[in-house]
Every structure is written in structure tokens, then in C-alpha cells.
Amino acid sequence: MGPMSTAEATIALLKDLIRNGCVNDLTPDSGNEARNADTLEAFFAGAPGVRVQRFEPHPGRVSIAFTIDGTDPDAEPLTLLGHTDVVPVDEAKWTRDPFGAEEVDGRIYGRGATDMLYITAAMAAAVRDVAESGTRPRGTLTFVGCADEEARGGLGAGWLAEHAADAFSWRNCLSEEGGSHLPVADGSDALVVVVGEKGAGQRRLTVHGDAGHGSTPHARDLAVAKIAEVARRVAAIEPAVTRDEPWPGYVRAFKFDPDTERQLLEGTSYEALGPLARYSHAMSHLTISPTVLRAGGAINVLPSTAWLELDIRPLPGQTQEDIDALLVDALGDLAPEVTITHLITEDATISPTSGPLYDAIVDTYAEFSPDAAVVPPIAAGGSDLRFARRKGGVGYGFALHRREQTLGSVLEELHSHDEHVEIADVELTARAYRSLVRRFVGA
């Protein structure tokens, strides 16, 4: 019996990772990524020349790194960051077992199939493949199965970046998602490589009012009325469309007619982008979403405080001070009565569209899709790559899908009911990782 191909190994591993069901519900005791770490350790068992490091900052929250040391200390290292946790499921809305990894009509169903276990599996298979080739790479190659990405990495990549920063290199990193196609107006092909991600500027806006009996509201300062006005003023904020790359390049990649292109560049209409409208709006603006509103408890008591929480996502270059200034300006005469508290704050991060790793991605895409343009957008949400970028490294979202798999269709799978991945895309991503890894570290 010959060895399994990289693609076959990837599919088998993907199914095991789904079945382990490492569900991260944002609480420290959830996740239990130790199960996926054990599965990965078994996957690498017997692979020659692989160093294994386990990290467990909280019981069960295991991240695991597999490193093949390079022969040339001057060669560029490569680190593949694959998260092993998945988001919870609303089981009643699924028509398949969310943790069954069922194979139906050329698809594998399960929580995390797209986000991002198929990529994690492809990364592991590509690294094991190098180990088993018998030839050591020139550059040091590491694959990390990271816990806790879905809760912003505090017990995963974020913890590693802070407490085990020297365990592996952060200089050149790959992670989710990337490799889908843009529906270009003239029918030509364009492939996405994710070069950055928006930041976080979470805020709580608190107001105070007069406490008292609900039966006697006359002449009282009502906290609920005030927070409602705060919410109205915040919802009316219309941040300006960005003029900075990658937005203009992303718009031009669609090759729309000049009128449509101008509307998009000016941010006046996103209609032409169809299912990509919402994502594209987020990519071109600071966004402010009111998500949590709290006041009162008992119906007969006037609450003395009320607050509104805002999920704010800044673009590269937009600071936390910019966000506060925008809020204060919108609150106007109410601003002195509103306390603005910073919750999670992280600046956006972006990597250059040049340099050795970016070039290797472009070359790999050219190998599989010679006619495709390469388009570098930023993600609206977060990934573990921001930790690499903050350390001065570069980070790109890399995978590879068949031509019919558009950016819109991939985004729709993330955190969805009946999440699935096409086996043909798993195979392509496995082949693309194998090719890129060998190209980059010289294996």
C-alpha cells in the first residue's frame, strides 16, 4: 500500500477535526482544543525531524506547534497558523449532524468545515509531507494548531504571542481564508488573497438619570429616554468611505463600467456587488453597530443608569482617538453626560502586497490559475494573523477554491447552519499549500 496523497490525508484529518467538536462559546472552560491537539499529534506521529511543542494556558485549551528546522539560518521561515476551535451551533437549524463530518454529494458537512478546519488540515498535511520527503527545508517550517481564535485568541495565538513568543517565528505567516474568486464583470478570473483585517473599537456609552418610583416620573431626568437619544445620534453617524488601498484596487478588479465604479469608489451605492455589498461596505468604512442596550430591572423603578454597547470596527490607519472624536462629535450637547468606556480595542493590521511571501502566493496562484488576477482585500472580521503583523511579521489569508466558488459564497458559509466545504476545494487547498510550502522554504 502506498502512502496516502496529501489531499486524501487532508480529507481524513478534516473529518477527525470536525468530529472532535471543539466548540468555543467564548467562555474559558469551553473549546477543549486538547482533543484536536491530540488528533494532530497522532497525525504527525512517526514523521521524522518534527519538533512538537504543546501549550496549555488554561486546562483543555491546548495549542500545538510542529516545527521542522531549516538547514539555512538565513532562509525565510514560514509559519502556518490554523485554528482548531469552532463556533457553537444552533442544532435545530441543521439538517445534518454538525459534528458528523458526513460526506454527501461531494461535500463534507460540519461545524468548522469552512471556518477553518479544511485549511488547518491542509496545513498539517503539507508540513507532514515535507517531513516525510526526507529532505530538510532550507527555511524553518512550523504548523501551529491554535486554540481560541473565535474568542479573539486570548487562550490561543494571542497568548502564544505574549507568553511563548520565541516558540516559533512570526515573520511569515499564513492563515484563513483567501483563495476564492471575484465575479468580474467581463467574465475574467480574479483570486483573493486576504492581506489585512479591520480592528476593534468596542465602546460602552453610559448615561445617568434620577432613580425613583415608577409611579412618579414628573420632572425627573430619565436615563432610558437619554440612552434612546444617544442610540439615535450614534446610529446617524455616517463615516466617510476610505480612499486608501486596498479598497480602490478591489473595486477596479471587478471591471465595472465607469459609472458603477465611481459610485463604489465614492461609497454611494454598493448594489452592483450583490451578495458582496455588505462585506464590501464594511471593507471601505469604519462601521458602528449598536449591539447591546441595558437599563432597569423592575418595571416600577426608574433606573439610575443605562448603557449602550457598540461593536466598532476601524480600518487600517484609524485610531481609537479617531473613534472617540467621532462619537463625541455625534453626541453633541449630550456628550458631557455620556461616559465612554473602552472595551476590546485593537487597531487594524495590514501586510504589504509585495515581499517574499506575497510573491510566493502570487506564483502559487499562477501555477493553478495562470489567467487569474490577484486581488488583495482586507477582512471585516479578525484572524490570528494580526498577532504576526503586530510583531512586525507579515500575514496573509491563503487557500484555493474552484472557479465557481466566489468570495461571496465562501463568506456565506462562515458560522452558517449546515456549514460545509466542497471536497474539490479541500483537495485544491491541500495541493496549493503543498506547492506554496515547498516553493517558499525550499523543500
- Could you tell me the smallest distance in angstroms from the CB atom of residue 284 to Zn ion? 22
Residue whose CB is less far from Zn ion, 86 or 330? 86
The enclosing H or E element of 67 equals strand 63-68
**Rounded Cα gap, residues 319 and 321, in angstroms:** 5
DSSP state of 307: E
Grid cell at residue 172: 511569515
How many CB atoms are closer than 10 A to CB 442? 17
- Could you tell me the smallest distance in angstroms from the CB atom of residue 415 to Zn ion? 9
Q: What x-and-dash track marks residues 65-104 binding Zn ion by CB under 5 A?
A: ----------------------------------------
Residue whose CB is less far from Zn ion, 76 or 176? 176
By CB under 5 A, name the one of 14, 40, 87, 116 that touches Zn ion. Answer: 116
- Could you tell me the smallest distance in angstroms from the CB atom of residue 177 to Zn ion? 7
97 within 8 A of 199, measured Cβ to Cβ: no
Residue 123 is a binding residue for Zn ion (CB under 5 A): no
- Could you tell me the smallest distance in angstroms from the CB atom of residue 279 to Zn ion? 15
| Residue 189 main-chain phi, psi, to 5 deg | -100, 145
**Which stretch, 10-18, 113-121, 265-273, 292-300, contacts Zn ion (CB under 5 A)?**
113-121
Q: What x-and-dash track marks residues 171-190 binding Zn ion by CB under 5 A?
A: -----x--------------
**Rounded Cα gap, residues 186 and 174, in angstroms:** 30
Residue whose CB is less far from Zn ion, 33 or 115? 115
By CB under 5 A, name the one of 76, 85, 115, 197 that touches Zn ion. Answer: 115
- Could you tell me the smallest distance in angstroms from the CB atom of residue 151 to Zn ion? 11
Residue whose CB is less far from Zn ion, 137 or 178? 178
Instruction: Compute how many residues bind Zn ion; rule: CB under 5 A.
Output: 3
The enclosing H or E element of 339 equals strand 339-346
- Could you tell me the smallest distance in angstroms from the CB atom of residue 439 to Zn ion? 25
The enclosing H or E element of 289 equals strand 287-295
**Rounded Cα gap, residues 291 and 313, in angstroms:** 13
195 within 8 A of 394, measured Cβ to Cβ: no
CA nearest 383: which of 70, 19, 83? 83
Residues at the contact surface with Zn ion, assessed by CB under 5 A? 115-116, 176
